[in-house]
Structures are given as structure tokens and as C-alpha cells.
Structure 1
């Protein structure tokens, strides 16, 4: 069956894409998500769309199933169609954000409409996903349609692509999910092929690629693999050799490599193309479908596959123009450990320099698996490279294991300075894993080991690390003392990196104590880090500026820094830091009463694997307190995990939010008792004289009747509440933008204030708190309290009924009013009334806005 056969049962999908392209052509760009299982016809659909356009510019690139994907591979695919300035930026180290901006600028300056096709995003590298995020958030400014295709059955909830898709702006996204063909559609394909349709639908499930292969086969194969291999087996040896060579190269193999390795006769090339398995654009050959390539590749005898990989590797080495990731792929296929080690190291260094830290970690891990013959110093350095990349990408357990391996090598070699450096790093990694005892021990060992050697950068690092640990545990004076020693030594030896690190530590310690000289020191540290490209230290500066501003309730400044940080992270795989800031952003939203957004952000982190303990504690505390206040299930399990991790960290900034959550839980349920973490953390806060933690903890223990501690040394709004000055406290909480805390202050006031507090709590959706307060007020003799919302509506922030929630889900799934009515067996008029109520309750003006809100609040589209 040739490529001229028309698409079957894809009219609606084409109309959706064409409609999005029409909107894009009028200056409001769109992103189209085309998804479905392998072989469902995603490429055929997009090809049809492109063929229908007369003058649209097309930029087409794809992701490949390489061992480690090439960073920004799709962008390199379309390089020939890009402008010269943009092409010149490809491959320049550390310029990813400028490259993305230049790509956007070229789209803005293009005279007509551009179609950007990015295929097989389920194989995408992190840099390509960053490009998608960058463009999707700005696509509405340009005349462009960005079409993203992927296999939705190959991306789980924790797949990086899933997170990217969840962050796309809903009002600029068109979703096209391709379904298998119906039995009638299969019959039509068979008719077009002049083949019998009997048994085809049952054998293929309506998958278009499977159907096509079955129709091409002589007889009905048991599997598509059998159909492909049967067709390949019928080819002459010279043609089969060409198919075998093409099969070991994902995506496509250059014609020049085929010519050098096989030198096929023109007749053999024509026969391969005529077989229906292979296609060409004149410059390269590729299988018509990845499933067919995989079938042929997996059928290759191992010795033959290794020989072919070795020949391709030799040719790529000779021409010197291949991406490192391809060299690694073929070296691995050839079983050439020396070549794998060589190229994986080079590819890892290249990926790291481009900010593709996930790929770098994977490549260094590959190199390590082939490093048996490495000399000990080089092996230790490789372990350290792997550790650093894993540290940046939230793979902390692997980072620790690699550093411990390096430590063993340095000790065996007797290299004291390298041992000291590694001890300092282990201190950092164990802290990141929430293991304070180990972090402190390694920090002390590093200082003691290096202090008797001539002063150098390793010792400066040990001093600064000691300052950092003191800062993190709230010992301001000690942090400043050790940090100033590090700053002095870094200045004398000319180490900009240690200087940036130490300035950050001292500045954060002072800023946390609300000293005016603190924040300027962090900002100076940030300037140095940005100037020298110290990604880790830039990230730490943003983290400390954000977290300290939130603790100081400087929410506007915190949000500004979050926006800056996220723009910086968008061009780099700094997952450890972006996750950490996301956790603090969830806390900011939580304190500001934006609970739906807070819950969504915190839940993403809690449900993600490999998130660092210090990040997880923050997210757990936010989500647990939200569930407690709303009366949602699951709060207890979150609190227990948060308590375990926080106790292990030993730091007041981790313990205090968890202790306050336990105290609030005891207030809401008097029968549960007060967890021991509450008085223990209060004692620690008293020792540190930390006004923020002290104020909230004292407020709760007084409310629980544990102590009568006074307001001295507490944060001002809590000090006012403790002193019984509820009216002033409520006014201050309102100025700070903390509605829940304002409601708590009002609850301590007169009857009018208490009624106002209840109304505010109901607006926030704090159902459990409202119930608790109503009971206490009735016991106190307050009468005439409103009954409150029904349970069915209080369980969701918009106050929707069960039926309205069901209709909202169907609406978000793209169903019309008539389709919803048929689904629910209701009149269309009834559905109209329900949708009007939904729009009113969500405070939106259109079905599209309602669907957008539904996605943001986590209401899933109904099938």
C-alpha cells in the first residue's frame, strides 16, 4: 500500500489542527498536542496537515531513541531552515536561553505562518523539553503553530514530558488524541489496497500501522513483527543488508554512510525502497515506521549487529562530524568499551557545559560502566563528575555513592587535599539528603584534615561549608564568623567561586536575622555567580533570597525572585534547585490563601520520586496543613513522613512548620493529644531566638493550654495575638496578605469578629476549621450561625455540586452541551442551566475559561 492512500477517520483531527493553524495565522500562536500509541498515525496526520498548506514555513525535527538523546536534537534537525544568526548559536556552550530567545525572535520576524513540528517527544532530552516550555509560554505572541507528537501510553505520571504538558497554558493548547480505526475504517483501508479485510481488525485492534503491515503481508501474520520480518526475509541478500544497516541507526542513516559501508548498487536501493519498508529524502534513508526498524534491529544476530555498529562508528569517526551521543550509541552497540568510555566522557562534558545535566549524569554513568581499565585518579574524577551532575538533578543517593567511591580512591592514594575536598562535598550531599549528623561529621573532618596544610581553595571551601551549616541551623554568629574567614581566604587566593559561596552564607544568616546588611551580600554573591557562570551558586542565591523573603513575609520580593529563578532554570537542568524553590513557592501560596495552587504545587513534589529531603519536608508540611484545614483524608500519613524527615534534619527551619502542623491538628481534634515534636521544637526556637518560629509555636501552645509563654521575642503579628490584641493582629495580617491567620486573630475577638472569621474561613474552603469553630461558638452561646455549605460543595473550592463537578469534567474533555446531555441522559436545557451555574461559581465568562480553571484545580476531564 503506497503513501498516496488517503487518511481514514482523521477528519476531525485534521479540522482541529487546521483551526489552530488558522488562529495562529492571525497572530495568536497555538500549541497542538498530537498523541496516541505507536503506529496510530501521528506522523501521517501531521504530514497531511503540512501538505495542505501552500506557503507556510515548516520547521520539522524529531527526537531519537538513542542511548542518551542528543541535547536539542530536533533543533539541529531543522537547522538548515533556520537563519544564519540562529544557526551560528547552535553548539555554543552556556547560551541556551539566548538560543531560545533567538528562535522566538526569528518566529516573530517571519513574514508568514510557521509550523514547528517536534516529533516523538517521549524520547526528548531535557533541553528539548525546556525549549518546548519556553516556546509554549510565548507562542501566543507569534504567527506559529507548534505541533508536539508523543506516545501517551509511554509516559507515566513521573515522566518529564508529563510535567511539561501539565504546565502548558491551557488557553493556547489544542489536544488531538488519535484513536484506533473502527472496523469500518479497517475495511475501507483494505478496499483501497484491494485486499480482503477478513480478520484484519481483530488481529490489529485498528492500529493503522499494524493494519497496513497486515495488508501488505502474504497472509495474516500473528504479529506486526512477523509481518515486517516476513517482508524483509523476501528481499535479496543485498537489499536485506541495506535494511539491516539502516535498522541499527535510530531515525535515519545518511546516504553517505550507506555508500561508504555497503556501496549498494542503485538497483538494490530501488528494491529496498520498493519493499515498502524504507524511504528516502535523497540525503538519508529511514524506515517508514520506528516499529518496523525495531523489529528488524531486534532480529539481527548479535555478531552481525556488532559488526555493523563498528563500521558505522568507524565512518563517523573518520568524518568527524557526528554528535557525541551517536558515537556513544554505536560504540555501545559494537561492544567497544574503550570507545564507549572515550565518547561517553566527551559527551558528558559537552552536555554539562550546555546545561543538559540530566544527560550528563546519564553519560557519566555509562562511562563508569566501562571504566574497568581507568587509572585511579581519573576514575575518582569521573565519580566526582557523576556525583556533581546527580546533585544538580535531584539524584542525591547516586551522588553520595559516587563521592564515597571517590573518597575511597583518594584515601588509598594518600592524597590528603583531594580527600578533604571530597569530605566537604559529602557534608553538602548528606545535608541535602536531610542527614544532619553525617553532614556535621564530614564538615568537621574536612576542616581538621585541611587546616594543617598550606591555605588553599580546598580549605576555603571547608570553612565556607562550615559557615553554611551554621547558617542553615540558625546559628547566626557562628555562621558569620566562619564565613568571614572563608571570605578573607577566598579574597587572598583569588577564588571567585568560594567568595560567592561564602558571601551567600553570611548574607543569608544576616538577612534571616533581619539585619539590613544581609540581602546586599547575597545579591553581591549572585552577581559574582552570574558573571562566572557558577550555576549551583546562582541557584543557591535565588533559593536563599526566596526562602528568607517568605520567612520574613516579604511576599512581593519573594515572587519577583521566584520569577527570576524560574527564567534562569528554564534553560538548565537544575532540578534540585527548581524543585526546592517550587516547594517554597507552594508555601508562599499557602500563606497567601491561594490554596488550590499551593496544593497542586506541593502534591506534584510529594508524588515525585527522588525529590531531596529538604524539599520534600516543605511540600509535605504545606499539603498536610491544607488537608487538615479542609478535612481531606491523608493528612496523618503526610505529617508522619514530614516528622521523620524533619527530625533527621535537626534544623529549626524544617522542624517548625511540621511542629505547627501537629499543633494545629491537636487544636482541631482535642482527642489526638499533642505530639512531642511541638514542645521539643518550641524549646529549640527559644534557644535560637528565631522570631518567626517562636511566634507561631508560642501561639499554638498557648491555644492548646500547654504554656502561658508571653509575646516577647515573637514575630509581631503573633506577638499581638498572644498579647490579646486581636484587632491589631487582624489588621496586620490583612496588610501582610495572610487571610487564614487574619481569621484566627478574628476568632479571638467579639461575636461580630468571630462571624467575620467564619465567613473568611468558608471562602478559603477551610471546612474542618469551620466545623470546629462553629461547635466551639455554639458551646459559648453564639446563636444564629449559618448552617454552612453542604458536604458535597465544601469538598471543592468552587462550591460545585457532584453533578456540576461531573459536567465540568465532561466540559473540560471538550464535549458540547448536546454531547453532555446524551452522556448524562438529561435534557440539553438542564445541562445549559448547570453550565451557567458552573461559570458563575468559577467566576469565568466562557466554557474555555471554565476548562482552564478545571485543569488548574485538578478536575480531570471525563471520558
Structure 2
């Protein structure tokens, strides 16, 4: 009922092919029913069905393995052979569309997807264009989504092949139709269910007194009506999981119980498996099983899976934990963790190691130390450094207890790396020295190579480039000797960055570092290589090169669940967006970083600076708290580039606020750390010292645009900044000139950027010159836009509300499609709208002048 338009849209997408359909709605709203109706309405189409696992720690890529069983061929062979995930992704893509018949792939319950499955959807979404394939992903959107799912949905929604279809609950009229002749009052049913089709239909099927208030109550009310043997089979099926093999359930249930369960209609056939008609019913039943009976059922399931030769370690670990079988957990959970890590599902890997450690109390101390180290490494990849430090300290204590000097040295080096990520530079240096004191007397080892690489990285962070190169080369020698390619990649990376800091050739070393990391599947080192490739390009003012590398690196880190480096790269992206005048996008990126729980201090640092400085330039409130945090973090961290960025941001904020002495002190506090930084960073310090009236100077080479500003060549500097794509810096160069004509040019730049505070400063400079014409500034009505949008964003939103595509908006406003993309991203961020349609609805409700067919006037 009330699904005609959605059904037509679904059929259209399948007929066109080359589409990824995101089918969303609350639990029980009828997503599965719509899929079944679509299948009935279509002709010669091959359907393949899969679902994400609802276990607490899902098995990575469960949907892919489900599809392999149905599609067979090379994909199934590679799955059975334990191939790498990239091979599996490509094998699936090759299999789809290979029969001459259009393919429809259904992935249900993506809200339970592991990171590897989300990466699979990203992979397919980017490659569907023109293929006779439609991928339909159903998502429950009435629960709080995890960060990984939100990020993935944002990425998928941005793909041109993506179509979003959302199902709303039924109207009161529809519920009234359904309840006719049932004996239930339609108004009561609608009040209790809010029109949720599952709640409505389950409620109408429930018998006995009382009205269940939720799906849990409905499910349990129906379960109670089953006879004891059928109820036992139901509980067993619920604890087995989302997909229940008929052979397994038969081995665990009596014939009468199985017959009673199958006639209840709580489960339906799905190929060679059974599944609950509604997953929420399975969860309700599973949660209601008493603990003593749950324990026994999990033990029986585990024994049956072993008897049937099951090799799914994640599944076995789940039932082992439910059965309280420590030996089985220690056997299966670590294997599941390592497979998850190999597949780039690091959240699942960390959860499996955590599960293992809960049952490892009686294990040997060296085994517990190894598990704690693996757990710490996974947590570090996920930007959960505080937890990683706890796990690493436990490992260190265990290594010391058993007298394992080699393990102790490696544990100290691991703690040093974690401390550096927590912005505790002194602790990192102390632990590195302790690691070397333990490891060097033991002779050449891989552990010593890793400690040398750790020391080299710390020297690099402190801008001691010569020492960084020296220690990196020592690490390289040992890494090559022991074929430790992860250490080799890190050492090459540090050596390249050190060479760049000294103005030497660095690209060959850095490219080799990335190649070694990718070839060896060292995902953290690959993330670091992308970060430094982008960072060095950015430091040399090559913003276009940096942005290309950042997008490539972010895609890699998102696909491989490397949260720590993905956050770091997004911070750098926010910097590039700010420098190149795309402030709304920079703010949206910064907010995304700061809104993610558990982000490390180093991950927050760049976002804080960008957000603070843009707010200050716009004359908005709330910039001092973020700049205070940025400065405190940078001082605690002790890394010169971060100190320079935080101090210069505060200098600019004070300068804009009319506090010249405070601005000068902040600029002078950046001089000492800036001395060892790049020519661009030294140039920025030199310019702010001059701008704030300081007598201090900066020694060493300055990047050319800054040198021209120091030399008083305002127009030359502005031209260079414009060529680099940095409008705000161009405006500042013109403002520094003190010439009336150039000040007017600067004012126009600041106004276009929305830098109201800087524009006001420019107006004051014009008044001091006695200029005949001084701009009056933006009108109060412009500043007080009800949604906080700029004029151009208002225009874009008006066309967006009319349903125009980006290409149509670009044509009507005479701007590029890429510029429209930027404006749409900024609008969605400001309105906190998940999609274009929602933004259009907000516009019509919240902005005077937006109607059903509004058009901006030019």
C-alpha cells in the first residue's frame, strides 16, 4: 500500500541498469516487501540476495560470501581459496552482467554492515556506470548509525550512479483500510504503531488480550503460542543468527519442533537457508532467552558447527563466547581478528581481539602479551590511541614479567609511537630511548629496526631533518636485511620527508615508500605515505597536487578502515580548502572531524585551527575556544609546524579583533618554532611579524609569495597568490600595500569570501587614507539570512528546491558544475540535511521567498 511511486522508481532503476539504489526506512516499513514486489514486476532478470550479519561482531564480507554461493564460478572458487578482498571484489564485478541477463544484487540490512562490506559497496558504486547491473542496499535508518556507516552513505550518495529511495510509514487512511474487519480500532492501531507496516500487520495478527506496544512484544506474544518443542527451535534459530542453515537447525531441533516452527510463519525459506521474516523479531526472541538456556544453546550450536566442519572463525567465536568456552574463543577469535584485519575491517578485528582478551586470563603470559599488542595495533589504526596505550602497557608489563627483553624493547617502541600520536612528545622520546637501551645490546633485529624508525620519525616531527635521515637509513639497512617491508616503507617515508625539509629531492623516495606499503598491504604505512605526499606538496604551496593526493589517500583509508590516517588526511584537506577559498567546505570538513567521538588530539588539531581562523575572519563568535584548544594541544605536542599554525591563527584573530599587541606577541611566539620549518611556514611567520609591527625577523629562505610581501611588492605577491588559487592571501597582500586602489581590490576579495571582519578592517584602512569612497559593507538583512547562507548559496538552494540537477544549476547561474558541487556540499552541511530533497524542504519551510517554483533573480 502507498508504494506506487517507489515501486515505479525501483523498476526504472533496474531497467536502466548501472545503478546503486539506497533503499532506506525505519525497521518494518516494508523494504523487503518492496523488493519482492519489484521482483514480481520484472521479467528476465537474475536476482541474487544477501544480507549483513546481525551478530555483535559481524563476519566481514558476509554478503559477498552469500552472493558467491548463488553466483558460483570463479567468485566461489576464490572465496573458498581464501583470496584477498581486492580479488574477491573484482571477481564479483566480473561475474555480474556476464550471462547476458541483467543482474540485480540485493544487500539487505546494510545498517549492520562491517567496514569491508561498506568498502565493497563503495567499490561497486564507482564501477556500475554502463553495466547491466543494479545493486540495491536496504538500510534501517531509525537507529543511530555508526561513524563508518555515515561516512560510507555520504560517499555512496555522492556517486552519480546512486539513487535514493526512502519508504515512509503508512498514513492513517491506509491503516484504517488494513484494520477493517479486524476488531481493532483504527485510531488506536495508528497511535500505537505510527503507521509502521510491520507493527501494524504483526499487531493485527496477534491474538489474546492486550495490545503489544513494540515489535518485541509482538514477536514474543507470537512465540508464546508455540508448543515447547517449536519454541525451543525458535530460540535456537534466533541464537544461530540472521541466516539459519536448515541442516544445522535440523541437527539441533526435534522434527515436531521444526514442523511447528515452520508453520508459525516467523521464519521463511531463503534458498537453502531459513531466515526470520523480520530481523527485529529474531533479536527480540534472542534477547528473551534466559541466560542458562542461552548458554546451553550456544554450546550445542558450537558443537554442531564443529561437527559439520565449519571454518567460519567469526561465527565460531560468537557461539564460543555465548557458551563460555574459553578454549574455543582463544582458538577462533584471534583467527577471525587477523582475517578481518587482512580484509580491512579493523573495527571487527579490534572487537575480536577484545573478545579474546576477555577469555585469556588463564592463557600463558607470552600469549596474552601478543594478543594485547595486536589489540593495541588495531586500536591505533582506528584513532583510539588512549585505549591502545592501555593495551600496550599491559603487553609491556607481561613482557617484563617473563623476562622477554626483545619483546620489552618492541613494547617500549610501540608505546613511544602511541605517545607521539597523543601529543606527548616528551614521553615518546623517553620511551624511545628506553627501547634502544634494551634493544641495541641484543644485536641486529627487526625490533631494533622498528625502534630506529620510531626515533627517525620523532626527529622528523621535531624538524631535526639531518638526524631523521641518519636514523631512517639505519632502520632501512636492518629492514632490508630482515625483509621487514613495513619498517622499510616507514623508513623510506621519513627519509623522503627529511630530504624535503632540507630542500633536496624527495619524490622518488616517497613514491617508493608508498609502493612498498601497497605491495606489502601495510595499510598504516600506505596512509602515512599519502599523508606526507600531500603534506609536502601543500607545504610547497602546490595545492592542486596536494588535493589530488588527499582525495586518493582518503579513499584508500576509508576503504581499508584506517580511521587515524583518514582523519589526519581530512584535516589537511580542510587546510587546502581554506587556503583555496572554499571556506564552507573547509568548515564542513572540520565539523565532521570534531564531531567524531574519540578523535585523537593530533587528528583534531588542524580542524580546530581551520575552524577558528575562518570564524574569526567572518566575524563570527566562538573562535577563541577552538583556537585555545589548538594552541594548548600544539604546545603539549611540541611539534614546530603545529605550533606555528596555532600561533599564527591566534595572531590573526587578535589582529582582526583590534588587539595589535596581543597579535604581535602571538606572532613572535611562532618565530622560534618556525625557524626550522618549511620556506612557506617561515614566510608566513615573517609576514605576520611584519604585519603586527614586530622588530623580529626570520632567517632563511622564504617562499616566493611571502618574500614579495616582505619586499613590499603587493601586486606581485597578489598575482602569485591568485595563480596558486589562494584568494584570501592575495587580498591580504593588497591590504598590506596601504594604496587606495589596491585596498578596494582587497575589499572585493574579502566580501566575495564572506570575510566580514577582514573587510571591515579594510574599510577602516580606507577611512584612514581619506578615500573618497568607502564601501558600507553588507546589509544587516544579508548577514541575517535565516539559514545562514551566502547570497550565492541562497540562489543555489532555490534551484535545488525546484529539483534542478547540478548541471542545470550551473547553466542557470553561469558557474561551473564543480562550483555548484562545492555550494551544495556547504548547503547540506549548514542545514544538516542528509540529501538534496531534505534541503529543499527546509528551504520552503524556513526561508521567505521560496515557493513551489522559486527562481533566483539575476
Normalising to structure 2: TM-score of the pair? Answer: 0.90
Query: Do the aligned residues in 2 keep the contact of 1:357 with 1:393 (CA within 8 Å)?
Result: yes
Q: Give the distance between the partners of 1:358 and 1:122, measured in 2 at CA.
A: 15
Query: Do the aligned residues in 2 keep the contact of 1:839 with 1:847 (CA within 8 Å)?
Result: no
- Counterpart residue number, 1:576: 564
- Counterpart residue number, 1:228: 219
Match status 1:621 vs 2:609: yes
Deviates more, 1:643-652 or 1:379-388: 643-652
Q: CA deviation at 1:49?
A: 1.6
- Describe how 1:499-648 pairs up with structure 2 within 5 A: 499-516=488-505, 518-648=506-636
- Describe how 1:336-415 pairs up with structure 2 within 5 A: 336-415=325-404
- Counterpart residue number, 2:10: 17
Match status 1:124 vs 2:106: no
Equivalent of 1:683, from 672, 688, 701? 672
Match status 1:481 vs 2:474: no
Over 3 Å counting, the alpha-carbon distance change for 1:573 and 1:850 in structure 2 is closer
SS in 2 for 1:656: helix
List gaps (5 residues or longer) in structure 1.
1-7, 815-834
Q: Give the distance between the partners of 1:655 and 1:774, measured in 2 at CA.
A: 31
Deviates more, 1:249-258 or 1:527-536: 527-536
Over 3 Å counting, the alpha-carbon distance change for 1:400 and 1:436 in structure 2 is same
Q: Give the distance between the partners of 2:298 and 2:282, measured in 1 at CA.
A: 15
- Describe how 1:409-808 pairs up with structure 2 within 5 A: 409-516=398-505, 518-671=506-659, 673-674=661-662, 677-686=666-675, 688=676, 690-707=678-695, 709=697, 713-749=701-737, 750-793=739-782, 799-800=790-791
Q: Give the distance between the partners of 1:745 and 1:848, measured in 2 at CA.
A: 29
SS in 2 for 1:624: helix
Deviates more, 1:799-808 or 1:172-181: 799-808
Over 3 Å counting, the alpha-carbon distance change for 1:235 and 1:465 in structure 2 is closer
Over 3 Å counting, the alpha-carbon distance change for 1:399 and 1:850 in structure 2 is closer
Q: Give the distance between the partners of 2:509 and 2:414, measured in 1 at CA.
A: 23
Deviates more, 1:98-107 or 1:255-264: 98-107
- Counterpart residue number, 1:89: 78
Query: Do the aligned residues in 2 keep the contact of 1:627 with 1:635 (CA within 8 Å)?
Result: yes
SS in 1 for 2:36: helix
Match status 1:241 vs 2:232: yes
Q: CA deviation at 1:372?
A: 0.9
Query: Do the aligned residues in 2 keep the contact of 1:423 with 1:443 (CA within 8 Å)?
Result: yes
Over 3 Å counting, the alpha-carbon distance change for 1:384 and 1:782 in structure 2 is same
- Counterpart residue number, 2:848: none
- Counterpart residue number, 2:64: 75
Q: Give the distance between the partners of 1:797 and 1:237, measured in 2 at CA.
A: 62
Over 3 Å counting, the alpha-carbon distance change for 1:712 and 1:512 in structure 2 is closer
Match status 1:840 vs 2:817: no
Q: CA deviation at 1:108?
A: 5.5
Query: Do the aligned residues in 2 keep the contact of 1:469 with 1:479 (CA within 8 Å)?
Result: yes
Over 3 Å counting, the alpha-carbon distance change for 1:707 and 1:142 in structure 2 is farther
Q: Give the distance between the partners of 1:837 and 1:770, measured in 2 at CA.
A: 28
- Describe how 1:134-173 pairs up with structure 2 within 5 A: 134-156=123-145, 159-167=147-155, 168-169=157-158, 171-173=160-162
Q: Give the distance between the partners of 1:464 and 1:225, measured in 2 at CA.
A: 55
SS in 2 for 1:403: helix
1:150-172 alpha-carbon deviations (Å, 9 max, x no partner) = 2212124x532112112222654
SS in 2 for 1:33: strand
Over 3 Å counting, the alpha-carbon distance change for 1:465 and 1:843 in structure 2 is closer
Number of aligned residue pairs: give it: 827
Query: Do the aligned residues in 2 keep the contact of 1:155 with 1:162 (CA within 8 Å)?
Result: no
Q: CA deviation at 1:425?
A: 0.9
SS in 2 for 1:654: helix
Over 3 Å counting, the alpha-carbon distance change for 1:656 and 1:109 in structure 2 is farther
Q: Give the distance between the partners of 2:777 and 2:645, measured in 1 at CA.
A: 29
- Counterpart residue number, 1:817: none
SS in 2 for 1:610: coil
Over 3 Å counting, the alpha-carbon distance change for 1:108 and 1:641 in structure 2 is farther
Over 3 Å counting, the alpha-carbon distance change for 1:808 and 1:133 in structure 2 is same
Deviates more, 1:404-413 or 1:205-214: 205-214
Q: Give the distance between the partners of 1:53 and 1:836, measured in 2 at CA.
A: 35
Query: Do the aligned residues in 1 keep the contact of 2:350 with 2:375 (CA within 8 Å)?
Result: yes
- Counterpart residue number, 1:828: none
Deviates more, 1:461-470 or 1:291-300: 291-300
Equivalent of 2:272, from 259, 278, 283? 283
Query: Do the aligned residues in 2 keep the contact of 1:107 with 1:144 (CA within 8 Å)?
Result: yes
List gaps (5 residues or longer) in structure 2.
834-838, 843-858
Over 3 Å counting, the alpha-carbon distance change for 1:230 and 1:540 in structure 2 is closer
Q: CA deviation at 1:197?
A: 4.4
Query: Do the aligned residues in 1 keep the contact of 2:643 with 2:673 (CA within 8 Å)?
Result: no
Q: Give the distance between the partners of 1:640 and 1:847, measured in 2 at CA.
A: 34
SS in 2 for 1:115: strand
SS in 2 for 1:139: coil
Match status 1:180 vs 2:169: yes
SS in 2 for 1:140: coil
- Describe how 1:799-818 pairs up with structure 2 within 5 A: 799-800=790-791, 810-811=801-802
Query: Do the aligned residues in 2 keep the contact of 1:345 with 1:363 (CA within 8 Å)?
Result: yes
1:532-566 alpha-carbon deviations (Å, 9 max, x no partner) = 33222222222211111111112333234334434
Over 3 Å counting, the alpha-carbon distance change for 1:776 and 1:563 in structure 2 is same
Q: CA deviation at 1:768?
A: 2.2
Q: Give the distance between the partners of 1:458 and 1:242, measured in 2 at CA.
A: 53
Query: Do the aligned residues in 2 keep the contact of 1:349 with 1:360 (CA within 8 Å)?
Result: yes
1:465-490 alpha-carbon deviations (Å, 9 max, x no partner) = 11111111111122122223333344
Match status 1:258 vs 2:249: yes
SS in 2 for 1:149: strand
Query: Do the aligned residues in 2 keep the contact of 1:720 with 1:728 (CA within 8 Å)?
Result: yes
- Counterpart residue number, 1:63: 52
SS in 2 for 1:78: helix
Over 3 Å counting, the alpha-carbon distance change for 1:765 and 1:418 in structure 2 is same
Alpha-carbon RMSD across the aligned residues, in angstroms, is: 3.0
Deviates more, 1:164-173 or 1:192-201: 192-201
Over 3 Å counting, the alpha-carbon distance change for 1:489 and 1:35 in structure 2 is closer
1:20-41 alpha-carbon deviations (Å, 9 max, x no partner) = 334x34xxx3332222222222
Normalising to structure 1: TM-score of the pair? Answer: 0.89
Q: Give the distance between the partners of 1:631 and 1:199, measured in 2 at CA.
A: 53
Query: Do the aligned residues in 1 keep the contact of 2:46 with 2:101 (CA within 8 Å)?
Result: yes
